[in-house]
Amino acid sequence: MSRPVRNEAVSVKKSDNGELEIIIHRKKTRLVVFLSKLFKLPETRRIILDKIGACVWILCDGRKTVNDITKVFSGKYSLGREKAERSLLVYLEQLVRRGLIAMAAPK
């Protein structure tokens, strides 16, 4: 089973209320520098993860499988296994699309 791995190139700030702020730094290619000046793009992009999203982010340590995270997630939030797995897979897909995690293939 796949193992979600956090993108180590992002910065993370933890708030007192359990949320996480993910800070994504733009790569400094010539095209990005040009477009940043032309369109006034910020150097960083920020994404706030709520408590549940933060919990999933922390569990994406590269050691736990999706199955392991589903067990923790369903137990912690009192969800049935199937519902927890469905919700988790949708959320992980969003994190992958945003470049916040990658899925490591099984060994």
Range of the domain at 65: 3-104
Q: Structure pTM? A: 0.80
- CA distance linking residue 62 with residue 70, whole number of Å: 14
Query: Measuring CA to CA, which residue among 2, 49, 4 is closest to residue 24?
Result: 49
Give the tens place of pLDDT for each residue, 70-106: 999 899 889 899 999 999 999 999 999 988 999 998 7
Tally the domains of the chain. Answer: 1
Give the tens place of pLDDT for each residue, 8-59: 888 999 888 889 999 987 777 787 677 777 777 777 888 999 999 999 999 9
Asked whether the beta carbons of 80 and 14 are under 8 A apart, the reply is no
Q: What is the pLDDT of residue 86?
A: 94
CATH number at residue 12: 3.90.930
